[in-house]
Structure 1
Amino acid sequence: MARAARALGAAGIEAPRAEAELLAAYVLGVSRGRLALAGGLTPDQLDRYDDLVARRVAREPLQHLTGSAAFRHLELAVGPGVFVPRPETELLAGWGIDRARGAGRPLVVDLCSGSGAIALSVAQEAPDARVVAVERSPDALRWLRRNAADRIAAGDRPVAVVAADVTAPDLLAELAGRVDVLLCNPPYVPRAVAVPPEVAAHDPDEAVFGGADGLAVIRPVVARAAELLRPGGVLGVEHDDTHGGAVPALLAADGRYEVVEEHRDLAGRPRFATALRRAR
């Protein structure tokens, strides 16, 4: 692991020792916390470990190598074709879960669901909620449906998966005026921004970039959310850290929202905006 950590660090991996341990734990089939109690690697396991380290040095995402991504209390299946959920999105999910828990039997919609990280977390942690997950990409939908099926098998409440484009003006027309909590982690990186190799080569382009200014998806989502939310319903939308002023301004300019607030991540960067749907 020390040798692997040195190689990973030289490749620019931010937490090389932690990733070396995670890959070793994956090969050994144990948790990272039990590595000290595990036996040594067999020759076959060592070959497999060296191969995984080499792939990580080439900046293949760690989550693609292990086949899963941790998100709140979940382990989600991920791989080529779906955006790997990030830890900062747990903050938006937690905000939505808190609102769902205080709303009786709420209707919660997750737009741009991807792997299902937000939707499945809400279904697990706010079990009285009816959750609808919306995704457009056929590749991402396969991962979303797989994760949704895994959570049903684990005993969580089922999530309704809808294949749709969140920018469509008639999105979820049957739910207009009925949604209690609407959450969205859309593609929001401005097109000219350079992204890490793991993102550039492995995350789906359509799940990362949001047009020239990063707001191409957020604009129609803000407008459609106002139609879907009931009076008093709430919206939470993640955005780029350069959008700390732009997204709240979009919400305020729409005219159908009030109590517009900006939220920062643990590093103090603008991360998501929330608003309350005005009474009609």
Structure 2
Amino acid sequence: MSSAVRQSLNEATATLRDAGVASPDFDAAELLAFVLDTRRALLLISAPQPTPAQLEQYADLVARRARREPLQHLTGVAAFRHVELAVGPGVFVPRPETELLAGWAIEQARSLVGRVAGEEPAGVSGPPVVVDLCTGSGAIARAVADEVPTARVYAVELDEGAHRWAERNLDGTGVELRHGDMADAFDDLVGTVDVVVCNPPYIPLEAWESVAQEARDHDPHLALFSGDDGLVAMRVLERRAALLLRSGGVVGAEHADVQGDSAPEVFTATGRWSEVRDHPDLAGRARFVTARLAR
């Protein structure tokens, strides 16, 4: 590592730490790798000597990150499972914990690949059908299409700005993207869907002050807040999934870590679902609920 690279990294890390950024070392390195058009892991090994123009660009990006602009907005990309998504102002930046929900949806879809009539589920054949409600950047839909290429994947997004990002990320993937409200989306698929997956808004309005500045100031509020208890969208999802799914189909939805009891209750209270269970994230916090349609 050159002395200029080391000094730039040290100064940037200190700046970000003083600004309260949660991961100053990581973010400083990611931004420098972006400026130098290399990978973060290679900074210590083969990073080129930065030019004066690159150092100026880096200083500007670090200052913007210190003002709590999301790292992904500055680099323009977000990694999600095995794909890279274009992100920026106007779309919710996909979080690492959502990869677990996407992984669950992928496993469910994979289990149905190659089914034929006469096998379980009775009377159902053809490729798995997956619907991603509240798709945002298209992260989950893109991951499913990438890892289960034979699946028929559909996605819907209400926010116009986010929908434009989803169009960009899902172009050429085979995912059918629609612009609309999950509450009445996909009437043409009623009773035929195998997997419904959703990362809905789930933050209570009263929790405004507790939301990370990056999300509160830069993510679309439509993707964050969901009524007084944070479960308004979850109730809409429960009703829509019950209509879209075939008998025995499954639904999975992310929720806040404090909703490990209340989110599953949305499903158990209706009597329409079996196998309702909650799943932790890698830190052991309650993260997403899954259920199977009982009819």
Q: Please name the residue that 1:250 is paired with.
A: 266
Question: Structure 1, residues 2-33: CA drift from partner, whole Å, max 9, x if none?
Answer: 11001111111121111111000000111112
State the SS of the aligned residue for 2:182.
Answer: coil
Question: Structure 1, residues 80-130: CA drift from partner, whole Å, max 9, x if none?
Answer: 110000000000000000000011210000000000000000000011100
Q: Please name the residue that 2:88 is paired with.
A: 79
Q: In terms of Rg, which structure is larger?
A: 2
Following TM superposition, by how much is the alpha carbon of 1:48 offset from its aligned partner in structure 2, in angstroms? 0.1
- 1:161-200 maps to which residues of 2 (within 5 A)? 161-168=177-184, 171-193=185-207, 194-200=210-216
Question: Structure 1, residues 216-265: CA drift from partner, whole Å, max 9, x if none?
Answer: 11101101101100011100011111111111111111111101010011
Question: Structure 1, residues 151-184: CA drift from partner, whole Å, max 9, x if none?
Answer: x2xxxx410001111123xx31110100000000
CA–CA distance in structure 2, aligned partners of residues 133 and 80 of structure 1: 20
State the SS of the aligned residue for 1:260.
Answer: strand
Q: Please name the residue that 1:117 is paired with.
A: 139
Question: Equivalent of 1:136, from 155, 158, 176?
Answer: 158
CA–CA distance in structure 1, aligned partners of residues 168 and 240 of structure 2: 28
**How does the TM-score come out when normalised to structure 1?**
0.95
Question: Equivalent of 2:24, from 16, 25, 29?
Answer: 16
Following TM superposition, by how much is the alpha carbon of 1:50 offset from its aligned partner in structure 2, in angstroms? 0.2
CA–CA distance in structure 2, aligned partners of residues 40 and 2 of structure 1: 16
What amino acid sits opposite 2:191 in the alignment?
G
The number of residue pairs the alignment matches comes to 271
**How does the TM-score come out when normalised to structure 2?**
0.90
CA–CA distance in structure 1, aligned partners of residues 170 and 266 of structure 2: 32
Following TM superposition, by how much is the alpha carbon of 1:196 offset from its aligned partner in structure 2, in angstroms? 1.1
Q: Please name the residue that 1:264 is paired with.
A: 280
Q: Please name the residue that 1:239 is paired with.
A: 255
Which 10-residue stretch deviates more, 8-17 or 44-53? Answer: 8-17
Do 1:223 and 1:254's aligned partners in 2 also have CA atoms closer than 8 Å?
A: no
Q: Please name the residue that 2:223 is paired with.
A: 207
Q: Please name the residue that 1:220 is paired with.
A: 236
CA–CA distance in structure 1, aligned partners of residues 90 and 202 of structure 2: 18
CA–CA distance in structure 2, aligned partners of residues 247 and 213 of structure 1: 10
State the SS of the aligned residue for 2:169.
Answer: helix
What amino acid sits opposite 2:247 in the alignment?
P
- Is 1:28 aligned to 2:31, yes or no? no
Moved over 6 A (4+): none
- Superposition CA RMSD, Å: 0.8
- 1:149-164 maps to which residues of 2 (within 5 A)? 149=171, 152=172, 157-164=173-180
Following TM superposition, by how much is the alpha carbon of 1:137 offset from its aligned partner in structure 2, in angstroms? 0.7
Following TM superposition, by how much is the alpha carbon of 1:59 offset from its aligned partner in structure 2, in angstroms? 0.4
Structure 1: gaps of 5 or more residues: none
Q: Please name the residue that 1:107 is paired with.
A: 129
